[in-house]
Structure 1
């Protein structure tokens, strides 16, 4: 993480508060894969439970690698449609730490679940086709991986009291779940 630039000396939590997880997931081809996430120790057990439930329902995840593989660059991780968690970074455009910097946030399938700014801007070109949010063909992993408010994935995270960025008022961050407790 240090060499990969996802952890820095001034990060708001110490390394010993983080846990490395190997999680099974179903990729977009229907294959079982093992992914990696780093999360805060306080949420590690519930993340294992949540991802076990997603695996059991065959919720597709394109890729799940550490942000360190992208030199801590959130934009590059999103461009690769990478599901990720810990990254010591600020909220974009601010000096405030992101929930990712505490290991208490996860972004899932960010291309199919874009961040949409107050002005309606979507930074990632591949995400533009997912601006309109409706399931049309759940047999297609691109469609099934889109996160909508009544989807099982939202219900599972909310059961564990995680907040979903799709519920936010001024911006929408459909990929984002975070724990505030």
Structure 2
């Protein structure tokens, strides 16, 4: 069934792209919010996720955004991988997105998100934080699911060397549905609208399917002393996950 849906989604995507293509063959660039998602939304939805090297142009954008700096634990592109993933949005439409993670974490992330896709767990969007100029606040406000980010000094929650996000071993999922308490302002971020842990589309609650999938791979949910419902990591200080368990 998922493969049939993928075929239909790919056909729909090709038609949609064709409708935005002038007679001279140029593809009209999206504007506004769509522009920030163009690199993910214009990729065809396929049957297979994949792990690959971070493209050089994406790495350059990450460096320009300040996500790779002298104090960051990641200094070389080979330390990271890009995991290309299919996901279903809140309208039931399939898309192609990606997460940038540590090379030692890529297969674990791929396994979990393949399972989430099979369960049609809704995800709003999934692009690298360089699309938001490295600003984690902007990424959270846009309800962007993301992973690697050596955050700015005024946005960090842990020393750079120990930080799960700075090491590419943490994922934040649907921040709007799964906010956290930012101690810098003692406020729910990106908003308090979904602070109550009641089941709902895209929300993560204790012992639900999302938590169980991550925990089966050795990850920890909201590994911090304040509510952080969006956040999973492999441990603090940051460390690699155990080998992937295929049976989960």
Query: 1:10 matched to which residue of 2?
Result: 71
Q: Which structure 2 residues correspond to residues 46-85 of structure 1 after superposition, within 5 A?
A: 46-85=108-147
Unmatched 5+ stretches in structure 2: 1-61, 240-248
Instruction: Give the superposition deviation at 1:128.
Output: 1.5
Q: Distance between the aligned counterparts of 2:187 and 2:117, measured in 1? A: 32
Q: Distance between the aligned counterparts of 1:61 and 1:4, measured in 2? A: 24
2:198 aligns with one of 126, 130, 134: 134
Which deviates more, 110-119 or 12-21? 110-119
1:96 aligns with one of 112, 137, 159: 159
Unmatched 5+ stretches in structure 1: 136-142
Are the structure 2 counterparts of residues 31 and 83 from structure 1 closer, same or farther at C-alpha, using a change threshold of 3 Å? Answer: same
Q: Distance between the aligned counterparts of 2:165 and 2:107, measured in 1? A: 17
Instruction: Give the superposition deviation at 1:93.
Output: 5.9
Relative to the length of structure 2, the TM-score reads: 0.64
Query: 1:171 matched to which residue of 2?
Result: 226
Output the aligned Cα RMSD: 1.9
Q: Distance between the aligned counterparts of 1:87 and 1:53, measured in 2? A: 24
Query: Aligned residues, how many?
Result: 170
Query: Contact 2:69/2:75 (CA < 8 Å) preserved in 1?
Result: no
Instruction: Give the superposition deviation at 1:40.
Output: 0.3
SS in 1 for 2:110: helix
Q: Distance between the aligned counterparts of 1:91 and 1:100, measured in 2? A: 15
